Amino acid sequence: MALKKEIELENGVIVNYHRIVSINKITNNQIIIEVASYINENKRQEEIDYYNSTDENKSMNVFIDTTYVNVDYDENKVIQDYYNYLKTTEKFENAEDI
């Protein structure tokens, strides 16, 4: 799963493919959601192919912008809940599920 929304970063780079990389649950305190944003879905696929390749001469040229979002601790939430939460934030509002 991922989110699709065109966002122009401060440096002028436009990203439109966003995925949750990790969810760090700090017990009874807070949750930190790490979101990676890519120029497009093809660049995400390039990253996957790079890590799955056994070619010693492999290379990867993928720009990734990382965002960290802090939320209140809730031990019952699952990843879909966090994607839904992201869509309520200013940065990711009106994003589409893909």
Q: Can you give the pLDDT of all 98 residues of the chain as single tens digits?
A: 999 999 999 999 999 999 999 999 999 999 999 999 999 999 999 999 999 999 988 888 999 999 999 999 999 999 999 999 999 999 999 999 99
Q: What pLDDT does residue 58 have?
A: 87
Q: What pLDDT does residue 2 have?
A: 97
pTM of the model: 0.90
Number of separate domains in the chain = 1
Those residues whose C-beta lies under 8 Å from the C-beta of residue 24, and which sit 6 or more positions away, are 31, 32, 33, 34
Question: Does residue 11 form part of some domain?
Answer: yes
Question: Does residue 98 form part of some domain?
Answer: no
Range of the domain at 58: 3-93
Q: Which two tokens stand for residue 27?
A: 């017990």
Question: Does residue 73 form part of some domain?
Answer: yes
Backbone angles phi, psi at 52, to 5 degrees: -90, -10
Q: What pLDDT does residue 64 have?
A: 95
Rounded to the nearest 5 degrees, what angle is found at the Cα of 64, between the Cα atoms of 34 and 46?
A: 115
